[in-house]
């Protein structure tokens, strides 16, 4: 059965490491839904968060193949229920008139989003949350006309004091 | 210690006990070659970089050491890639050194610049680009360590010209740390115990041995295990030679052109003990029809191989030698098995499907040629093969009894592999006879390196099974495409005898069965590079065969 899985991958912070990871997905015929990367808590080590679509067999292969990359230090699967899963989106919306502007402000409040830029006829809204929340918000405001949309892709962390366990 | 990058590089290679490098110099590697000139490392100048990589590969397969090849930037590096991929597919430890344009020129589309790192990422176990002189010793050490440990494979080091020329303060490390690289060597003992139980409770067990058994030098342990429990043994193409094919328990290779007895036996088994193999499609036939009644114990050092192509009922991740040793220790207490019904059935298969080789026709039938070659071949001699029909005739009909004596391009199926691999093999073991079982199509892809063989005095024998066709494709066209021989006839040129002579090699033509063995014997004794043009029946087929998409039991011919 096709499902989505979140993988957290610790890698050595070296040139080309993202290409190794993304190249592996293409070569092995795996699908990445999203990929994000940034520094981790340790110097010289980055954390890549991947969302992968496939069945358990695909997931197992993805994890094993990732582990084979020399610069990959650890691969863990994050259980959706036990993890905080977040994405950030910047949405630039057309605001033709005052009424639309105030409607958008109230939607932003309901979604706990922030208005980060306002011009005469547009507005940039910053929203964080899980993908469903962001999808819902985008769906809501798209009737006003989205000028530009930038989404970061998923980043995630396991809840509580424990660290990821290697699977 | 203050020294230039090129010196640090050569010193690092000497510290890894590199004896020989196959390569061609170019603009981006001149500083390296300048230092190499005074070094004790032998450099073998080849005539095409693909040959350098295959020769390093052949050298590694025969010697068990890491093979080294070298090419300049751009076209030199891209020419290496086929050979690197070949080594990657067959898990052969080689280190490839490539020149690169100076660091400040990288990305500017400079003369002879190619993105070697980007190009070779998916075909190497790992690759490095040197960015400073100081890191050279550490990275060379890492490269050799990665190439030869765990599941072996090719590692590439890309070396910008300025890094070769600059001076730096160099120290040579005794140890290196690679945080993300820790191959599992010992198998999980509980899994091994379970495996032993499965084996002892099975009625129709079979061992499937792959190239991993050779790579981990586990052949003795394999023989002990098979003999202790009287388990029949089949191998993959890559495993050929890991178990003596003259042994009563040996059934030969499985696969598309495997022995019928081997394919039938594995099909009937209730337990497969798979060691160091990856269940490639050419070995298993249609995977949905593969060994329908068998449970599978899969022993492999690479966890990603387990469950990749077939489901393993009992996986054991570890080095074959260690796992088999642990297994043997556990088995010591169990009593020796008697001949079972299963053994009798397997022996019947062997008798019924013994390969027939006694053809008398002229032009010759290939199985007869193989039989004649075997009359001269000693068990320590090295056989390499090209790819296609010649390779399959060799793997099917030729008997090999020792590991590292049958060298063939398994995964990638690279035409033009056998001759360069023979050069590498002969350099590794000059005291042994080395023969390349070639096809005319394959040999033509690399024949320019007769120049290397003659100039460097590497006396190998090339036995061309000459049918003037791209024979394997022709065979498929005959069987599955109504004999429409689209682009498979190669024409009646060249004259291989004259071609050999033009390079200063010996050239002989044989047309009759009783001429084959004397020609090969004479070639070995001459200690000169010899090309034997063996004229075979143009439309001879490799049979039996599992048609594509069928199960191993559906062999034709």
Give the span between the Cα atoms of A161 and B492, in whole angstroms. 76
Test mutation, A47, A67, A68, chain B, max B CBs within 10 A: A68
Of B11, B141, B148, B161, the catalytic one is B161
Chain A residues whose beta carbon lies within 8 Å of the beta carbon of residue B178? 70
Residues 6+ apart with CB under 8 A from B186: B318, B319, B322, B323, B326
Catalytic site includes residue B361: no
A62 and A115 together in one domain: no
Chain A residues whose beta carbon lies within 8 Å of the beta carbon of residue B146? 70
Start-to-end Cα distance in chain A: 20
Query: Within 13 Å of residue B10, how many CA atoms lie on the same side as its CB?
Result: 21
User: Which of B121, B179, B304 minimises the CB distance to A68?
Assistant: B304
Chain B residues whose beta carbon lies within 8 Å of the beta carbon of residue A68? 302, 304
Banded pLDDT at B336 (limits 50, 70, 90): low
Pick the range with the lowest mean pLDDT from B135-139, B328-332, B442-446: B328-332
Banded pLDDT at A164 (limits 50, 70, 90): low
Banded pLDDT at A1 (limits 50, 70, 90): low
A20 and A71 together in one domain: yes
A99 and A73 together in one domain: no
Looking at chain A, the whole-number percentage of residues with pLDDT higher than 70 is: 96
What token pair was written down for B478? 């005959």
User: Which of A23, A64, A74 minimises the CB distance to B303?
Assistant: A64
User: Which of B117, B126, B303 minimises the CB distance to A70?
Assistant: B126
Give the span between the Cα atoms of B216 and B403, in whole angstroms. 11
Average pLDDT, chain B: 97
Mind telling me how many Å the CA of A111 is from chain B's nearest CA? Answer: 41
Inform me whether the C-beta atom of residue A61 falls under 8 Å from chain B C-beta atoms. Answer: yes
Give the span between the Cα atoms of B130 and B247, in whole angstroms. 50
Pick the range with the lowest mean pLDDT from A17-31, B28-42, B516-530, B531-545: A17-31
| CB atoms inside a 10 Å sphere around CB B489 | 13
Residues A6-32 have a mean pLDDT of 93
Residues B383-410 have a mean pLDDT of 98
A25 and A64 together in one domain: yes
Catalytic site includes residue B112: yes
Banded pLDDT at B339 (limits 50, 70, 90): confident
Residue A166 has pLDDT above 60, yes or no: no
Catalytic site includes residue B49: yes
What's B536's DSSP letter? B
Of B111, B356, B480, B489, the catalytic one is B111
- Residue A138's nearest CA partner among A98, A104, A97, A101 is A104
User: Which of B180, B304, B308 minimises the CB distance to A70?
Assistant: B180
User: Which of B129, B180, B304 minimises the CB distance to A65?
Assistant: B304
Element (H, E) at B343: helix B341-352
What is the length of chain B?
Answer: 557
Task: Confirm or reject CATH 3.90.1150.10 for domain B366-535, answering yes or no.
Answer: no
Strands B42-45 and B20-23, by their bridges, are parallel
User: How confident is the model at residue A3, as a pLDDT?
Assistant: 87
Mind telling me how many Å the CA of A67 is from chain B's nearest CA? Answer: 8
Inform me whether the C-beta atom of residue B118 falls under 8 Å from chain A C-beta atoms. Answer: yes
Residue A165 has pLDDT above 60, yes or no: no
Inform me whether the C-beta atom of residue B135 falls under 8 Å from chain A C-beta atoms. Answer: no
- Residue A124's nearest CA partner among A100, A99, A153, A149 is A149
- Residue A69 and residue B303: Cβ atoms within 8 Å? no
Residues 6+ apart with CB under 8 A from B116: B73, B77, B78, B98, B100, B127, B129, B156, B158
Per-residue pLDDT of B501-548, as tens digits, reads 999 999 999 999 999 999 999 999 999 999 999 999 999 999 999 999
Inform me whether the C-beta atom of residue B146 falls under 8 Å from chain A C-beta atoms. Answer: yes
A106 and A68 together in one domain: no
Residues B425-453 have a mean pLDDT of 98
Strands A3-12 and A45-54, by their bridges, are antiparallel
A56 and A106 together in one domain: no
Inform me whether the C-beta atom of residue B122 falls under 8 Å from chain A C-beta atoms. Answer: yes
- Residue that terminates a domain, selected from A78, A107, A130: A78
Residues 6+ apart with CB under 8 A from A23: B121, B122
A73 and A91 together in one domain: no
What token pair was written down for B341? 């019904």
Domain borders along chain B are 2-169, 189-352, 366-535
ipTM, two decimals, is 0.92
A65 and A94 together in one domain: no
Per the domain annotation, does A108 fall within a domain?
yes
A28 and A46 together in one domain: yes
Radius of gyration of chain B (CA): 24
Residue B373 phi/psi, 5-degree rounding, is -60, -40
Give the span between the Cα atoms of B217 and B215, in whole angstroms. 6
Per the domain annotation, does A35 fall within a domain?
yes
Per the domain annotation, does A160 fall within a domain?
no
Mind telling me how many Å the CA of A165 is from chain B's nearest CA? Answer: 16
A90 and A64 together in one domain: no
User: Which of B122, B304, B307 minimises the CB distance to A57?
Assistant: B307
Residue B262 has pLDDT above 90, yes or no: yes
Which of residues 2 through 41 in chain A touch B, CB cutoff 8 A? Answer: 11-12, 15-16, 19-20, 23-24, 27
Mind telling me how many Å the CA of B305 is from chain A's nearest CA? Answer: 9
Inform me whether the C-beta atom of residue A44 falls under 8 Å from chain B C-beta atoms. Answer: no
Test mutation, A64, A66, A69, chain B, max B CBs within 10 A: A64
In CATH, what number is assigned to the domain containing residue A43?
Answer: 3.30.70.260
User: How confident is the model at residue B516, as a pLDDT?
Assistant: 98
Banded pLDDT at A109 (limits 50, 70, 90): very high
User: Which of A12, A20, A65 minimises the CB distance to B121?
Assistant: A20
List alpha helices for B168-243, DSSP H: 189-201, 211-215, 219-229
- Residue A23 and residue B122: Cβ atoms within 8 Å? yes
Mind telling me how many Å the CA of A18 is from chain B's nearest CA? Answer: 12
Give the span between the Cα atoms of A71 and A73, in whole angstroms. 6
- Residue B242's nearest CA partner among B228, B252, B232 is B252
- Residue that terminates a domain, selected from A47, A78, A109: A78
Domain that holds residue A119: 84-155
Start-to-end Cα distance in chain B: 67
Helical packing angle, B513-526 and B366-376, nearest 10°: 40
User: How confident is the model at residue A108, as a pLDDT?
Assistant: 96
In CATH, what number is assigned to the domain containing residue A135?
Answer: 3.30.70.1150
Of B112, B295, B357, B539, the catalytic one is B112
Of B238, B256, B472, B545, the catalytic one is B472
Per the domain annotation, does A142 fall within a domain?
yes
Residues B328-357 have a mean pLDDT of 91
Mind telling me how many Å the CA of A6 is from chain B's nearest CA? Answer: 19
How many domains, in total, are found in chain A? 2
User: How confident is the model at residue B49, as a pLDDT?
Assistant: 98
Of B4, B7, B22, B49, the catalytic one is B49
Per the domain annotation, does A116 fall within a domain?
yes
- Residue A37's nearest CA partner among A46, A25, A24 is A46
Mind telling me how many Å the CA of B173 is from chain A's nearest CA? Answer: 20
> Is there a contact between B283 and B277 (Cβ–Cβ < 8 Å)?
yes
User: How confident is the model at residue A167, as a pLDDT?
Assistant: 42
Give Cα B124 distance to the centre of its chain: 16
Whose structure tokens read 């292969």? A61
Task: Confirm or reject CATH 3.40.50.970 for domain B2-169, answering yes or no.
Answer: yes
Are domains B2-169 and B366-535 of this chain identical in fold? yes
Catalytic site includes residue B111: yes
What's B27's DSSP letter? G
> Is there a contact between B301 and B316 (Cβ–Cβ < 8 Å)?
no
- Residue that terminates a domain, selected from A54, A78, A102: A78
Mind telling me how many Å the CA of A92 is from chain B's nearest CA? Answer: 35
- Residue B304 and residue A12: Cβ atoms within 8 Å? no
Whose structure tokens read 């769906």? A139
Catalytic site includes residue B19: no
The reply to whether the predicted model has a pTM over 0.90 is yes
- Residue A70 and residue B125: Cβ atoms within 8 Å? yes
User: How confident is the model at residue B356, as a pLDDT?
Assistant: 96
- Residue B303 and residue A67: Cβ atoms within 8 Å? yes
Per-residue pLDDT of B191-240, as tens digits, reads 999 999 999 999 999 999 999 999 999 999 999 999 999 999 999 999 99
Per-residue pLDDT of A39-53, as tens digits, reads 999 999 999 999 998
A103 and A39 together in one domain: no
Residue B447 has pLDDT above 50, yes or no: yes
User: Which of B179, B307, B308 minimises the CB distance to A73?
Assistant: B179
> Is there a contact between B474 and B488 (Cβ–Cβ < 8 Å)?
yes
Architecture of the domain whose range is B189-352: 3-Layer(aba) Sandwich (3.40)
């Amino acid at each position: 059965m096709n499902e989505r899985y979140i993988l957290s991958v610790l890698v050595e912070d070296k040139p080309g490491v993202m290409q190794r990871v993304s190249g592996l997905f293409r070569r092995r015929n795996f699908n990445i839904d999203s990929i994000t990367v940034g520094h981790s808590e340790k110097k010289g080590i980055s954390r890549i968060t991947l969302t992968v679509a496939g069945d358990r067999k695909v997931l197992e292969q993805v994890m094993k193949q990732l582990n084979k990359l020399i610069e990959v230090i650890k691969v863990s699967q994050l259980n959706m229920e036990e993890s905080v899963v977040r994405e950030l989106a910047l949405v630039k919306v057309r605001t033709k008139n005052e009424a639309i502007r105030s409607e958008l402000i109230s939607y932003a409040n309901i979604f706990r989003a922030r208005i980060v830029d306002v011009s005469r006829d547009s507005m940039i809204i910053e929203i964080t949350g899980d993908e469903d929340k962001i999808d819902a918000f985008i769906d809501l405001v798209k009737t006003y006309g989205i000028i530009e949309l930038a989404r970061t892709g998923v980043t995630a962390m396991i809840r509580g004091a424990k660290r990821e366990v290697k699977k | 210690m203050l020294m230039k990058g090129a010196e640090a590089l050569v010193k690092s290679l000497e510290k890894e006990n590199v004896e020989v490098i196959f390569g061609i110099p170019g603009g981006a590697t001149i500083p390296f070659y300048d230092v190499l000139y005074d070094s004790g490392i032998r450099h073998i100048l080849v005539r095409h970089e693909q040959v350098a990589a295959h020769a390093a590969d052949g050298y590694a397969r025969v010697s068990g050491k890491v093979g080294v090849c070298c090419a300049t930037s751009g076209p030199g590096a891209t020419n290496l890639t086929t050979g690197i991929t070949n080594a990657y597919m067959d898990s052969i430890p080689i280190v490839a050194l490539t020149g690169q344009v100076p660091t400040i020129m990288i990305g500017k589309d400079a003369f002879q610049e190619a993105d070697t790192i980007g190009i070779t990422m998916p075909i190497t176990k790992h690759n490095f680009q040197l960015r400073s002189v100081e890191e050279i010793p550490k990275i060379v050490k890492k490269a050799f360590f990665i190439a030869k440990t765990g599941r072996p494979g090719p590692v590439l080091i890309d070396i910008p010209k300025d890094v070769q020329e600059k001076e730096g303060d160099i120290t040579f490390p005794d140890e290196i740390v690679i945080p993300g690289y820790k191959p599992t060597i010992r198998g999980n003992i509980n899994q091994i115990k379970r495996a032993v139980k499965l084996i002892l409770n099975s009625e129709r067990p079979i061992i499937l041995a792959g190239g991993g058994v050779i790579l981990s030098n586990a052949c003795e342990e394999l023989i002990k295990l098979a003999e202790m429990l009287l388990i029949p043994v089949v191998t993959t193409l890559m495993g050929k030679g890991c178990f003596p094919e003259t042994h009563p328990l040996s059934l030969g290779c499985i696969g598309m052109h495997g022995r019928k007895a081997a394919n039938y036996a594995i099909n009937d088994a209730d337990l497969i003990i798979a060691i160091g193999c990856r269940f490639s499609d050419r070995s298993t036939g249609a995977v949905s029809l593969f060994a329908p009644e068998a449970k599978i114990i899969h022993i492999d050092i690479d966890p990603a191989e387990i469950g990749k192509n077939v489901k393993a009922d009992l996986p054991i991740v570890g080095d074959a030698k260690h796992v088999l040793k642990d297994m043997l220790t556990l088995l010591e207490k169990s009593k020796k098995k008697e001949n079972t019904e299963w053994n009798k059935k397997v022996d019947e298969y062997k008798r019924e499907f013994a390969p027939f080789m006694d053809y008398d026709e002229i032009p010759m039938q290939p199985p007869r040629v193989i039989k004649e070659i075997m009359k001269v071949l000693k068990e320590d001699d090295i056989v390499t093969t090209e790819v296609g029909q010649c390779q399959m005739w060799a793997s099917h009909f030729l008997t090999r009894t020792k590991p590292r004596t049958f060298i063939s391009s398994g995964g990638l199926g690279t035409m033009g592999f056998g001759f360069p691999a023979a050069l590498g093999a002969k350099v590794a073991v000059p005291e042994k006879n080395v023969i390349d079982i070639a096809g005319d199509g394959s040999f033509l892809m690399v024949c320019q390196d007769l120049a290397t063989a003659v100039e460097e005095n590497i006396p190998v024998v090339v036995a061309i099974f000459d049918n003037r066709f791209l024979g394997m494709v022709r065979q498929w066209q005959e069987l599955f495409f109504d004999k429409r021989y689209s682009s498979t006839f190669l024409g009646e040129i060249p004259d291989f005898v004259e071609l050999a002579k033009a390079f200063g090699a010996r050239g002989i033509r044989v047309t009759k069965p009783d001429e084959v063995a004397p020609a090969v014997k004479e070639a070995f004794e001459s200690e000169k590079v010899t090309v034997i043009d063996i004229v075979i029946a143009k439309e001879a087929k490799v049979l039996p065969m599992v048609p594509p998409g069928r199960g191993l039991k559906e062999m034709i011919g």
